[in-house]
């Protein structure tokens, strides 16, 4: 074997919310990774920690069976307490502040709820137990490093690699500059790899391809905003018809190119 390519994904090892007070809480704790159906939670009071896709989807799925559903998001303002439109038993909260041995949960907004189940909808850890690198590749709060452009560990060249790369010295300079930029922007380590379009465009440039079209970027970002604001209807209603027109125009050009 001359090389190893790691393609194992990272949706296996659950990441739990960093709430140390939960150790004294007597109720049931679980991660969204283990959620399958809502029926077992009928008539229970449910708290979901998280404010992204799994929390949005599961909270709505379980609201039809649970007695109450409360979603605690770290990105929500401290005074957040919003009843979700279309539901009689679903509320958005600020993050959990503390818990008590009687099963009650206190949110940063001051609300106290007696809770049966807390579900962590908090994503996953980057976990590579099979990869022995003698410290060349490490995971620190979901920052996988030290990697050049998120894929290549300079210290292991050329045995663990993906595509043609610069010198080890140039790669290390690039990595240090990138980390310094992330830290200067106040971005937590666990979000290091959320580079999105800038990273996609760099990959495209390395392959000699065009960058992501502006209409595609705007459509993606607009959809994200609408999904958070209107999770039930964002797929069916939109206001970016001009972007759709641009997309159709570009697709027609692709078709012409392919038929030439």
pLDDT bin (cut points 50, 70, 90) of residue 170 is confident
**Contacts (Cβ under 8 Å, ≥6 apart) of 206:** 163
Task: Give mean pLDDT, residues 61-66.
Answer: 95
- Cβ of 260: how many Cβ atoms within 10 Å? 5
Rounded-to-integer distance, Cα 219 and Cα 239, Å: 10
Rounded to whole angstroms, the Cα distance separating 45 from 186 reads: 36
Determine contact, residues 74/51, Cβ cutoff 8 Å: yes
Which pLDDT score is estimated for 94?
Answer: 94
Domain range 17-120, its CATH number among 3.50.50.60, 3.90.380.10, 3.20.20.80, 3.40.50.2300: 3.50.50.60
Stated as kind and residue range, the H or E segment containing 229 is helix 214-229
pLDDT of residue 61: 95
240: how many CB neighbours lie within 10 A of its CB?
A: 15
Q: Specify the range with the lowest mean pLDDT, choosing from 87-96, 168-177, 223-232.
A: 223-232
What is the biggest distance separating any 2 CA atoms in the chain, rounded to whole angstroms? 72
pLDDT at 76 > cutoff 80: yes
Percentage of the chain lying above the pLDDT 90 cut? 41
Identify the pLDDT of residue 9.
79
Average pLDDT over all residues of the chain: 86
Q: What is the mean pLDDT of residues 214-241?
A: 84
- Pick the residue with more confidence: 254 or 194? 194
For residue 81, the SS3 value is strand
pLDDT band at 165 (very low <50, low <70, confident <90, very high): low
Q: Which residue has the tokens 């500059």?
A: 177
User: Over 80: is that where the pLDDT of 157 sits?
Assistant: no
Of residues 128 and 91, the one with the higher pLDDT is 91
pLDDT at position 256? 58
Residue ranges with strand state E in 42-103 = 45-49, 68-72, 81-83, 90-93, 96-99
pLDDT band of residue 1 (cuts 50, 70, 90) is low
Contact 98, 21 (CB under 8 A): yes
**Which residues make up the CATH 3.50.50.60 domain(s) of the chain?**
17-120
Q: What is the mean pLDDT of residues 71-89?
A: 91
pLDDT at position 240 is: 80
Between 23 and 210, residue with greater pLDDT = 210
């Amino acid at each position: 074997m001359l090389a190893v390519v790691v393609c194992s994904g990272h949706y296996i090892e659950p990441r739990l919310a960093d709430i140390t007070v939960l150790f004294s809480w007597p109720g049931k704790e679980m991660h969204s990774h283990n959620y399958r159906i809502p029926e077992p939670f009928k008539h229970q009071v449910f708290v979901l920690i998280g404010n992204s896709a799994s929390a949005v989807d599961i909270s709505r799925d379980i609201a039809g069976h649970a007695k109450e559903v409360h979603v605690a998001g770290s990105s929500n303002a401290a005074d957040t307490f919003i009843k979700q439109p279309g539901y009689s038993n679903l509320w958005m909260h600020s993050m959990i502040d503390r818990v008590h041995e009687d099963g009650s949960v206190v949110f940063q907004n001051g609300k106290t709820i007696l809770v049966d189940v807390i579900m962590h909808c908090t994503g996953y850890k980057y976990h590579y137990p099979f990869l022995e690198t003698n410290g060349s590749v490490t995971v620190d709060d979901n920052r996988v490093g030290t990697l050049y452009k998120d894929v290549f560990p300079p210290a292991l060249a050329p045995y663990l690699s993906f595509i043609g790369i610069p010198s080890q010295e140039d790669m290390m300079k690039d990595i240090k500059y990138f980390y310094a930029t992330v830290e200067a922007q106040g971005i937590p380590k666990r979000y290091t790899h959320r580079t999105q379009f800038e990273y996609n465009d760099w990959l495209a440039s390395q392959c000699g391809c065009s960058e992501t079209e502006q209409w595609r970027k705007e459509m993606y970002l607009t959809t994200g905003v609408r999904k958070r604001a209107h999770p039930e209807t964002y797929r069916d209603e939109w206001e970016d018809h001009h972007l759709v027109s641009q997309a159709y125009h570009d697709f027609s050009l692709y078709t012409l190119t392919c038929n030439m």
